[in-house]
């Protein structure tokens, strides 16, 4: 029993860092990510990859890809050790089920991006202001909005959903109105 436990611990001490390093290297290539997430019978990622590669940009993700050589992992890789570990654990679980022949393609994000995944490139909310362009204070310029409202970046900035406009940072009206209506009933579309 002790010997088996010792072998398991030794394998974990070698396997976890090795797997982490190998997956770090592989996930730098979008085609590696799509090897599991892109197949003809799995429409979610077929559409996402098509939108990501679209010119002109069809989504916020495509706009990021146009601006510089973004990869899937640049947004979906997690931030800091906790975020990276979260992604690695999900990837390990998915890899296990893929190898076992029981992988099921998700139909949406199981673990949505965290704000810090966006803010690692976009800086603080206050730095992102361009009110002069809009002529009115924007959401993040109002200090009351920059407290813990529970509104995630991806609640308003729909990353992979086509149909938004580049000049509005791909904000879609429906989810924005729903978020605003949480505090401002006049924005409730059902009234």
pLDDT value at 148 more than 70: no
More confident residue, 142 or 131: 142
Residue among 167, 166, 190 at smallest CA distance from 178: 190
Please give the average per-residue pLDDT across 164-172, as a whole number: 77
Residue among 162, 167, 191, 164 at smallest CA distance from 176: 164
Confidence at residue 136, expressed as pLDDT on a 0 to 100 scale: 56
* Ordered DSSP codes for 123-173: --TGGG--HHHHSS--GGGSGGGGSS----HHHHB-SS-TT--GGGTTB-H
Tokens 């398991």 found at: 8
Confidence at residue 131, expressed as pLDDT on a 0 to 100 scale: 45
Confidence at residue 35, expressed as pLDDT on a 0 to 100 scale: 67
Tokens 């992102």 found at: 128
Confidence at residue 153, expressed as pLDDT on a 0 to 100 scale: 83
In angstroms, the CA 150 to CA 155 distance is: 10
Would you kindly state where each structural domain of the chain is located, as residue ranges?
2-187
Q: Which of 14-18, 145-149, 165-169 has the highest mean pLDDT?
A: 14-18
Least confident of 97-101, 102-106, 144-148, 169-173: 144-148
pLDDT value at 78 more than 80: yes
In angstroms, the CA 114 to CA 119 distance is: 9
Q: What are phi and psi of 100, to 5 degrees?
A: -75, -10
Q: Which of 21-25, 101-105, 115-119 has the highest mean pLDDT?
A: 115-119
b/e burial code for range 134-170 (CB count within 10 A of at least 16 → b) = eeeeebebeeeeeeeeebebbebbbbbbbebeeeeeb
Q: What percent of the chain has pLDDT over 90?
A: 0
Confidence at residue 39, expressed as pLDDT on a 0 to 100 scale: 57
Are 165 and 63 a contacting pair, CB within 8 Å?
no
């Amino acid at each position: 029993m002790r010997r088996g436990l010792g072998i398991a611990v030794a394998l974990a001490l070698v396997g976890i860092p090795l797997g982490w390093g190998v997956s770090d290297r592989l996930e730098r290539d979008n085609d590696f990510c799509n090897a599991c997430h892109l197949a003809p019978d799995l429409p979610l990622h077929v559409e996402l990859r098509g939108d990501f590669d679209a010119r002109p940009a069809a989504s916020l993700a495509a706009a990021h890809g146009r601006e510089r050589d973004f990869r899937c992992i640049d947004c979906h890789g997690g931030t800091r050790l906790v975020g990276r570990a979260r992604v690695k654990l999900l990837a390990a679980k998915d890899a296990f089920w893929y190898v076992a022949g029981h992988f099921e393609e998700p139909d949406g994000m199981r673990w949505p991006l965290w704000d810090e995944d966006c803010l690692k490139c976009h800086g603080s909310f206050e730095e992102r202001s361009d009110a002069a362009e809009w002529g009115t204070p924007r959401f993040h310029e109002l200090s009351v909005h920059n407290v813990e409202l529970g509104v995630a970046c991806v609640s308003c900035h729909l990353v992979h959903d086509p149909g938004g406009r580049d000049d509005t940072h791909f904000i879609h009206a429906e989810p924005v109105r729903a978020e605003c209506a949480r505090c401002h009933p006049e924005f409730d579309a059902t009234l």
